[in-house]
Chain A
Amino acid sequence: MNLEITKATRQSYGEKLAELGEKNKDIVVLDADLSGATKTSIFAKKFPERFFDMGISEQDMMSTAAGLATFEKIPFASSFAMFACGRTYDQIRNSIAYPNLNVKICASHAGVTVGEDGATHQMIEDLGIMRGMPNMVVMCTSDDLQTKWAVEEISKIKEPVYLRLCRYATPLIYDETQKFEFGKGIQIGEGTDATIFATGVTVSEAIKAKEELEKKGINIRVIDIHTIKPIDEELIIKCAKETKKLISIEDHNIIGGLRNCYF
């Protein structure tokens, strides 16, 4: 697999959102003073009347998104993962998750791969928080095409969604022939020595590890879990039966993260 060409999933998100805004006039976008980084600025430029900068007030951003959803709008609310679900637990739980409102929380800069922004910005608890929210769909995408597919997919689901995105550029893994299916993991390779479960930025790293191990005669498979909730139970059980080991690679705390979905 050629993993040379790279692009950040936040960029793919911003591009797709602006494209969807053309077709779907119900889409409105909110940001909390980070639109340049979350890439909602692309939408903002095209559709200023449907873009709301809420300033550095994430709590009010979530409640406002909830209010917009009660009027049949499809709000996409973006910030860094730390602020999008760290500052806003109460608002998301009570105003979005429990009432099952159609709000899309699309958070960029998740995980330690944020890098030099430091520990205050390295969100590694978000999947645990969001998986625990009732009604919340949780997704984390690994490349450009998958992210664009996911953004369109979640705009059609009438449920609250948390989409985890990344700051730095990661390899383009898939081409146009790849089919994505909501709730279904993607199996890469047929190896039976081990299964590596990966999500988001760790998928391309897992593929690199798979290729390295092949040279040593160890044959593994990689499972790209883009839909974390609902999790693909069928595929996890299949891999547990067919391979000797289950390993997860995550840019997240092991508690509440991907491994917690099956173990």
Chain B
Amino acid sequence: MALASKLNHEGIRVYCICGDGELQEGQIWEAAMTSSHYKLDNLCLIVDNNNLQIDGKVDEVMSIYPIDEKFRSFGFEVINIDGHDMNQIINALNKAKTVKGKPTAIIAKTIKGKGVSFMENVADWHGKAPKDEEYKLAMEELN
């Protein structure tokens, strides 16, 4: 999409959000290579780095660290932020717009299930929906 937008001179920016566990997929790095080779400065990747995947902690299942150095060496501008700090998020997105000649990767350090006491940092919540009672409790905590 970012490549097509460049071809069309449309000035469209493409934002791509990916998890940290999925950085283990080979295709992510094929795409990373392509993005910097074709100088896709209209592409902004946001990595949700909560260090959890279905089987457990990312660094225990199959470490993908250091994420920032990997993307830097693949030709990205890299910005590390606290993914729960709105000011940092906005500043990073604004900075990404000014980067020329290469794509940007924002590595957002996050806590899975943040704000809900029984969900925080629990890998089990990766792929299941809360029951009615759990949903009520979670919403109360968030409000």
Q: Do A59 and B3 touch across chains, with their CB atoms under 8 A apart?
A: no
CB within 8 Å of A: which B19-51 residues: 26-27, 30-31, 33-34, 37-38
Q: B87 an interface residue at 8 Å Cβ cutoff?
A: no
Question: Whole-angstrom distance between the alpha carbons of A99 and B123 in the complex?
Answer: 31
Bound CA span A67–B4, Å: 7
A64 touches B34 (CB 8 A): yes
- Secondary structure of the B side of the interface? helix
**Contact partner, B26, options A59, A64, A68, Cβ 8 Å:** A59
Known: A52-B3, A52-B38. A71 touches B30 (CB 8 A): no
Hey, which chain A residues are within 8 Å of B86, CB to CB?
none
B25–chain A nearest beta-carbon distance, Å: 9
Partner of A57, one of B4, B30, B38: B30
Contact of A70 among B1, B7, B26, B33 (CB under 8 A): B1
Given contacts A28-B7, A52-B38, A71-B8, whether A59 and B1 have CB atoms under 8 Å apart is no
Using CB atoms, name the residue of chain A closest to B26: A59
When chains A and B are docked, how far (Å) is the Cα of A91 from the Cα of B3? 18
- Show the binding face of A for B, using Cβ within 8 Å: 28, 49-50, 52, 54-55, 57, 59-60, 63-64, 67-68, 70-71, 73, 91
Do A73 and B34 have beta carbons less than 8 Å apart?
no
Q: Tell me, rounded to whole Å, the shortest Cβ–Cβ distance linking B139 to chain A.
A: 33
Q: How many interface residues does chain B have, given as a range?
A: 10 to 19
The reply to whether the CB of B5 lies closer than 8 angstroms to some CB of chain A is: yes
The answer to whether B30 and A60 have CB atoms under 8 Å apart is yes
Closest residue on chain A to residue B27 by CB atoms: A59
The proximity string for B residues 1-15 relative to A, scoring 1 for CB distances below 8 Å and 0 otherwise, is 111110110000000
Question: How far, in Å, is A84 (CB) from chain B's closest CB?
Answer: 15
Which has the most chain A C-beta neighbours within 10 Å: B7, B26, B37? B7
A59 touches B30 (CB 8 A): yes
Beyond the given A64-B3, A73-B4, please list 15 additional residue pairs across the A-B interface where CB-CB is below 8 A.
Answer: A28-B7, A50-B7, A54-B30, A55-B33, A59-B26, A60-B31, A63-B31, A64-B34, A67-B3, A67-B4, A68-B4, A68-B7, A71-B4, A71-B7, A71-B8
The answer to whether A57 and B1 touch across the interface, beta carbons within 8 angstroms, is no
A33 to B30 alpha-carbon distance, docked (Å): 14
Do A68 and B27 have beta carbons less than 8 Å apart? Answer: no
Contacts of A57 in B (CB 8 A): 27, 30, 33-34
Complex contacts, B37 vs chain A, CB 8 Å: 55
Do residues B34 and A68 form an inter-chain contact, with CB atoms below 8 A? Answer: no
Q: Which residues of B are found within 8 Å of A60, using beta-carbon distances?
A: 27, 30-31, 33-34
| A contact residues around B1 at 8 Å (CB) | 67-68, 70-71
A121 to chain B, nearest CB (A): 21
**How many angstroms between the C-alpha atoms of A59 and B37 in the bound complex?**
16
Q: Which residues of B contact A71 (CB under 8 A)?
A: 1, 4-5, 7-8
